[in-house]
Chains A and B, each alone.
Chain A
């Protein structure tokens, strides 16, 4: 659990982060959205003390983050940044081993962990371990960057626009990988992004920041349905709102009894995907199949449209 209490950061007369308080539950993903200069990156960097706050307290699992020297604190917190920041003079395996080496793990343990993470990220340890970062594609570099951040099994992972430099297809894949890995390790993740789509997709809760202030901190559905201010509404994008709302729900939750013609859509697809498929194929209903491949009902355009309406 991360408790941020009344955190303020001032540079001379400029207040970059203004009295922000929020609590991030363990094993959840919190996304921080905002425009450039909204203070979201500074807020993130105060959690691992790359920036020292002017006032306020940040507690990690109840302990003040100033109770350890900064460098020791940072070894216990994963940190992944835009453009990955891999060490160009070290191999992929050495890059991933950075924090375990600093912590003085023994060689076998480091090797086992590096191999585990590389396999998890679909990079063959034999083939890619001895390569240098510049020999990898952008997507692979990004994966190594996240693997490095996770190497020392941190409870908390901070990510600063980690997918910002990726093309849309690799980006979607990277997001799915992150969700899968978060589930597997139960890591608490705080992810900064300027992309509302990404924030809605990844976040269990979304914090919206504007001019250093925390404008709203709520579940994605809440942010979409009841934006706290005009700024949040603009950020959500009025024309995108219903579709974003649908993207939060799974098809299996919108199933109605009955059958329909055509190929079935899996129940764990998003309702947005289902609506898109319905509109594109011009059909009024789609059959839905469960995880075991059996038909469990259907979704209809009518039903989905109702779900896309502003919650009352």
Chain B
């Protein structure tokens, strides 16, 4: 019975989340005490469902782009031909991480205008490092005798990459993507300061009108999304690791 509890809990959170973003009106009595002067308890300047989907879309686009670039970069610098770019690419990606996302937003707005684009740029740059680091670690710590066997069997460089190196690196790369997604989910909220349609809109509206109910619902939806997605990706990661015979649980 015990083993069912976490799954049950997750399903409950998921159900609650879905009900909340589709029919937030039902929860009005719960949030009402948090408002003052008869302000609305449920965000009323847009549908929570639409905002959630747009939030997820922004994170998805940024993560897919960051994953593509980071993994490609990691592959490139672990080939013999690209080895000399290893330090350079490391520092470039590190810069992406030290740059505060707010600063990226501020710099990107004059260049690409308001809206989703500057947010995507900030999330993309922010998501690169964890994926790149993990991909690099995975690709440089592959078991030596497995790689030796792959070469000895007569695989070409490309075949070794596709058939051995990437499959074996998958669990660790997935770990990087998971970190990156969770960071992006949270960071995307500040995109609303430059008019991106994300759940940050709800939080910012709450802050401006001093409406705690708004801040809370915006924050809770983002938190629930982060927890569920983190869990889901962890499960995929464990499955992949088990397939590789790397223990798991």
Within 8 Å CB of A128, what residues of B? none
24 contacts between A and B (CB under 8 A): A50-B151, A50-B152, A71-B154, A73-B154, A74-B151, A74-B153, A76-B154, A81-B148, A81-B152, A83-B145, A85-B143, A85-B145, A85-B147, A85-B150, A85-B152, A86-B146, A87-B163, A87-B164, A88-B146, A89-B167, A89-B168, A89-B244, A102-B155, A132-B245
B243 at the interface (CB under 8 A from A): yes
Partner of B245, one of A71, A76, A85, A89: A89
Q: With an 8 A cutoff between CB atoms, is B246 at the interface?
A: yes
B154 engages A75 (CB within 8 Å): yes
A50-B152, A74-B154, A87-B163 provided; 11 other pairs, C-beta below 8 A?
A79-B149, A84-B145, A84-B149, A85-B146, A85-B147, A85-B149, A86-B149, A87-B150, A89-B244, A98-B153, A132-B245
Q: Quick check: B154 and A85 within 8 Å, CB to CB?
A: no
Which residues of B, 137-169, contact A by the 8 Å Cβ criterion? 143, 145-156, 159, 163-164, 167-168
Give the chain B neighbours of A89 by CB distance below 8 A: 167-168, 243-245
Query: Does the CB pair B153–A82 fall under 8 Å?
Result: no
* B245 partner residues in chain A, CB cutoff 8 A: 88-89, 132-135
**Cβ of B145: which chain A residues have Cβ within 8 Å of it?**
81-85
Q: How far is the CB of B199 from chain A (nearest CB, A)?
A: 38
Min Cβ gap A219→B in Å is: 29
Does A48 reach chain B (CB closer than 8 Å)? yes
A72, A75, A87, A102 — which one has the most chain B CB atoms within 10 A of its CB? A87
A88 to B159, CA, bound (A): 16
Give 7 nearest A-B pairs by CB, closest first: A85-B149, A134-B245, A75-B154, A79-B152, A74-B154, A85-B145, A88-B245
Instruction: Kindly list chain A residues whose C-beta atoms are within 8 Å of the C-beta of B151.
Output: 50, 74
Instruction: Output the nearest chain A residue to B159 by Cβ-Cβ distance.
Output: A102
**Least Cβ distance of A194 to chain B in Å?**
17
Is A40 close to B, CB under 8 A? no
Give complex CA distance A76, B152 in Å.
Answer: 10
Give the distance to chain B from A81, nearest Cβ to Cβ, in Å: 6
A272 at the B interface (CB under 8 A): no
Q: A84 to B243, alpha carbons, bound, how many Å?
A: 19
A99 at the interface (CB under 8 A from B): yes
- CB–CB A81/B244 < 8 A: no
Q: Which B residues are CB-close (under 8 A) to A76? A: 154
Give chain A residues whose Cβ lies under 8 Å from the Cβ of B244: 88-89
Cβ of A48 and Cβ of B159 under 8 Å apart?
no
User: Is A143 part of the contact surface with B, judged by Cβ < 8 Å?
Assistant: no
Chain B nearest Cβ from A75, distance in angstroms = 3
> Which residues of chain B have C-beta atoms less than 8 A from A83's C-beta?
145
The answer, yes or no, to whether A148 is at the interface (CB within 8 Å) is yes
A75:B146 contact, CB within 8 angstroms: no
Contact pick for B156, options A48, A71, A133, A148, CB 8 Å: A71
Q: Which residues of B contact A81 (CB under 8 A)?
A: 145, 148-149, 152
Task: Give the distance in Å from the alpha carbon of A145 to the alpha carbon of B150 in the complex.
Answer: 12
Residues of B within 8 A of A86 (CB): 146, 149
- Asked whether A99 lies within 8 Å of B153 as measured between CB atoms, the reply is yes
Cα distance, A102 to B151, chains bound together (Å): 12
What's the least CB distance linking B101 to chain A, in Å? 36
User: By the criterion CB–CB under 8 Å, are B167 and A74 in contact?
Assistant: no
Contacts of A88 in B (CB 8 A): 143, 146, 168, 244-246
Report the Cα distance A73→B154, complex, angstroms: 7
Chain B residues with CB under 8 A of A145: 149
| Chain A residue with Cβ nearest B163 | A87
Q: With a CB–CB cut-off of 8 A, which chain A residues contact B246? A: 88
Expressed in whole angstroms, the Cα–Cα distance for A1 and B245 within the complex equals 39
- Residues in A with CB closer than 8 Å to B159 are 102
Closest CB in chain A relative to B195 CB, distance in Å: 45
Q: Contact mask A39-50 → B, CB, 8 Å, 1/0?
A: 000000000101
| Cβ-defined contact, B167 with A102, below 8 A | no
**How far, in whole Å, are A133 and B149 apart by their CA atoms in the complex?**
14
CA distance A76 to B155 in the complex (A): 12
Contacting residues, chain A, for B163 (C-beta < 8 A): 87
Taken together as a complex, chains A and B put the C-alpha atoms of A50 and B144 apart, in Å, by 14
Give the CA-CA distance A133 to B150 in the complex, in Å. Answer: 15
Compute how far the CA of A309 lies from the CA of B232 in the bound complex, rounded to whole angstroms.
72
Q: Which residues of A contact B156 (CB under 8 A)?
A: 71
**Is the pair B153, A148 in contact by a Cβ cutoff of 8 Å?**
yes
Which of A72, A134, A135, A145 has its CB near the most chain B CB atoms (within 10 A)? Answer: A134
Q: How far is the CB of B155 from chain A (nearest CB, A)?
A: 7
Which residue of chain A is the closest to B144 with respect to CB atoms?
A85
Q: How far is the CB of B249 from chain A (nearest CB, A)?
A: 14
Contact A85/B243 with A71-B156, A73-B154, A102-B155 known, Cβ cut-off 8 Å:
no
Contact status A48-B153, CB under 8 Å:
no
Interfacial chain A residues near B150, Cβ < 8 Å: 85, 87
Interface string of B207-237 (1 = CB under 8 A from A): 0000000000000000000000000000000
Task: Write the nearest CB–CB distance from B193 to chain A, whole angstroms.
Answer: 44
Q: Is the CB of B146 within 8 A of A87?
A: yes
> Once bound together, how far apart are the Cα atoms of A76 and B153, in whole Å?
9
Chain B: minimal CB distance from A64 (Å) = 18
Query: Could you tell me the distance between the alpha carbons of A88 and B147 in the complex, rounded to whole angstroms?
Result: 11
